Homo-oligomer: A and B are copies of this chain.
């Protein structure tokens, strides 16, 4: 593992949490990208250099392992580190620690470089990632794919893409896809279970005004964990796939 480590404190605000008092997944995603943005500025604002070349980072996948979700009021340390890169992909790890330096969760994020005129992926430009002191690898890092929907028992909800879903980068914010996924679940299920892992892979962007369909299935594993598998569909297009692994909340 290589790459400069960047750390930033964050106190969880009440409005960043859901009804259970735990930080929401969309907030976590936003905070992680914020921290990597701050690291980029600290290392000489490579993002601006990318813009000058007509390039931007696009997130392909988050693979998240959760020990516990932080609560409102907690003092966290958000840590980010570029891990490695190959011809087309870069890998960045995020870790969230609590006030006792215990790991709450870790996330592997896969990025690609995109030409924003052609909307096509380009080869990673080495000089742009040099400041992060990250290791070049020949192969792909093995990041598991989200589990597929079950054939039976599908449920779905529609969501219209709203003005405030579009962020400063003029795209539907990454966190919004997780918003649609979470908001398709049964609230009682969410409150009776806690997340163990989240895996989301982005396939095709949606746009303002689109009405997307959030489809899901639930299945139980032999070890008693549950897997909810998710798709966000935009007409005929698969926009993203995801799964969340849950275990029952131990009531004390």
Q: Report yes or no: B26 in contact with A13, Cβ–Cβ below 8 A.
A: no
Quote the shortest CB–CB distance from A99 to chain B (angstroms): 16
Docked pose: A121 CA to B122 CA in angstroms: 60
Contact flags A145-173 to B (C-beta < 8 A → 1, else 0): 00000000000000000111011111001
Q: Which residues of chain B come closer than 8 Å to A88, judged between CB atoms?
A: none
How far in angstroms is the closest Cβ of chain B from A113? 19
* Contacts known (A163-B187, A163-B190); A168 close to B72, Cβ less than 8 A: yes
- Nearest B residue to A21, CB-CB: B168
Q: How large is the interface on A (under 10, 10 to 19, 20 to 34, 35 or more residues)?
A: 20 to 34
Q: Is the CB of A183 within 8 A of B168?
A: no
Task: Give residues 154-201 of A contacting B (CB, 8 Å).
Answer: 162-164, 166-170, 173, 175, 179, 182-183, 185, 187, 190
Assess whether A179 is in contact with B167, with CB atoms less than 8 Å apart. no
- B residues in contact with A34, CB < 8 Å: 13-15
Assembled-state Cα–Cα distance A79/B164 (Å): 26
Residue pair B15, A175 in contact (C-beta under 8 Å): yes
User: Shortest Cβ distance from A21 into chain B, in angstroms?
Assistant: 5
A35 to chain B, nearest CB (A): 10
With A30-B13, A187-B208, A208-B187 known to touch, is A166 a contact of B18 (CB < 8 Å)? yes
The yes or no answer to A105 lying at the interface (CB within 8 A) is no
Give the top 7 A-B pairs by smallest Cβ distance, nearest first.
A15-B30, A162-B183, A19-B166, A17-B168, A163-B187, A14-B168, A21-B168
